Amino acid sequence: MPAARGVVVTTGARLHFGFYGLATGPRRYGGLGLYIDKPGYRIVFRRSDSPRIRGCQAGRAGEILRRVLDVLGLSVSVDIELKECVDEHVGLGSTTQLTLAILSGVARIEGADVDLVSAARRLGIGVRSGVGLWGYRYGGLIVDAGVKPPYRGPATLLARYMFPSNWVVGVVIPGSVWRVSGEEEERLLASLPEPPESLYYRALEIVFRRLLPAVVERDFMEFAESVEELDKINGKVFAPVQKGVYACREAELAVKLLKDHGGLGVGQSSWGPAVYSFYDSVKEARETLTSVREELARRGVDARILVTTARNSGARVEPL
């Protein structure tokens, strides 16, 4: 791959619908989620004799850059400008997207031929869920196979589906002190009790007999009902470690309001506090999410709302 003087990397974000592999067995976890168009990272990389990092999440990007250069064995001098960013640690997979974007940008600047999956493994990406990794690479609805012992990941891609472009996604990110990542996430997962066998088999049935066929058949109502039921099951399983079916009071309130205002397929993405819902039209989504944001504000909760669609292609790395 020839070196480039400058490139721009554009990503999406990911919603995580939950795990279907809830019980310990030959594989752990096994989850699914959707790569969405917004929010996303837009990062400009330029070869420079005076390297610097600026823009949103510059400090975080600097830490990740050091790790990426160490893994790649490079010492490239690069100017990085972060023009758009994914909200940090709210359940949208920002760490994975930012890490892979920096990996891709540096590799293209240097002209290095990098195996994305191998590098992800060395960077600790996709240890439990491969949705962010495979979404970055391919886009669409991602199903991963979970990880086999010794559980080092990244989770294998099991299936990838084109998601209906006319199904609109609403995202509410309520203001909350709740944040889970890194060592705290490891601690919570280690303390997770084994779920009842009935929930394990019910999750499998929902994903493989209802949710995925609904996507293939473009059955909006069946998809929405299935994704919402999967979320409820995951909420019950994770309740002992997140102290409730939802991550925090603000996420629980946002879910309730979305349902009260007619949102379908409502659920919490990953550890939250971001929550999602699905709509038939952009107009309906905007009206609903605006009402939900106003109601949250009346109850003392600030919130960011996003109306977006699936991103059925992966991240883009383009020359300047």
Count of domains in the chain? 2
Question: Is the residue at 320 inside a domain?
Answer: no
Residue 116 sits in the same domain as residue 67: yes
Task: Say how far apart CA 182 and CA 200 lie, in whole Å.
Answer: 26
Residue 290 sits in the same domain as residue 194: yes
Instruction: Return the ∠ at Cα 207 (arms to 203 and 208), rounded to 5°.
Output: 115
Q: Is there a contact between 26 and 151 (Cβ–Cβ < 8 Å)?
A: no
Task: Say how far apart CA 301 and CA 293 lie, in whole Å.
Answer: 8
Question: Is the residue at 315 inside a domain?
Answer: no
| Residue 151 pLDDT | 72
Residue 280 sits in the same domain as residue 177: yes
Question: Is the residue at 316 inside a domain?
Answer: no
Residue 128 sits in the same domain as residue 241: no
Question: Is the residue at 138 inside a domain?
Answer: yes
Beta bridge partners of 54: 81
Residue 135 sits in the same domain as residue 189: no
Strands (E), 162-271: 168-174, 264-268
| Residue 169 pLDDT | 98
| Residue 190 pLDDT | 67
- Which of 133, 162, 191 is the last residue before a domain boundary? 162
Both structure tokens of 193: 């009790």
| Residue 5 pLDDT | 87
Residue 150 sits in the same domain as residue 11: yes
What's the Cα-to-Cα distance from 98 to each of 16, 101, 135, 196, rounded to whole Å?
Answer: 17, 5, 13, 36
Residue 180 sits in the same domain as residue 42: no
Residue 182 sits in the same domain as residue 148: no
- Which of 131, 162, 193 is the last residue before a domain boundary? 162
Question: Is the residue at 24 inside a domain?
Answer: yes
Residue 93 sits in the same domain as residue 184: no
What's the Cα-to-Cα distance from 17 to each of 6, 91, 120, 291, rounded to whole Å?
Answer: 36, 10, 22, 24
Neighbouring residues of 92: CB distance < 8 A, sequence distance ≥ 6: 13, 14, 15, 39, 86, 171, 173, 269, 270, 274
Residue 149 sits in the same domain as residue 174: no
pTM for the model: 0.95
Give the CATH number, domain containing residue 117: 3.30.230.10
| Residue 153 pLDDT | 75
| Residue 2 pLDDT | 75
Question: Is the residue at 26 inside a domain?
Answer: yes
Q: Is there a contact between 171 and 274 (Cβ–Cβ < 8 Å)?
A: yes
Residue 156 sits in the same domain as residue 24: yes
Question: Is the residue at 146 inside a domain?
Answer: yes
Task: Say how far apart CA 163 and CA 157 lie, in whole Å.
Answer: 16
DSSP states along 275-312: EEEEES-HHHHHHHHHHHHHHHHHTT--EEEEEE-B--
Give the CATH number, domain containing residue 297: 3.30.70.890
- Which of 127, 162, 197 is the last residue before a domain boundary? 162
**pLDDT tens by residue, the chain, 320 residues:** 777 789 999 999 999 999 998 877 788 889 999 999 999 999 999 999 889 999 999 999 999 999 999 998 988 889 999 999 999 999 999 999 999 999 999 999 999 899 999 999 999 898 889 999 999 999 999 999 998 877 777 899 999 999 999 999 999 999 986 666 666 666 766 667 788 889 999 999 999 999 999 999 999 999 999 999 999 999 999 888 887 899 899 999 999 999 999 999 999 999 899 999 999 999 999 999 999 999 999 999 999 999 999 999 999 999 99
Residue 154 sits in the same domain as residue 177: no
Count of positions (residues) in the chain:
320
Domain of 80, in residue numbers: 6-162
Q: Is there a contact between 101 and 316 (Cβ–Cβ < 8 Å)?
A: no
Question: Is the residue at 262 inside a domain?
Answer: yes
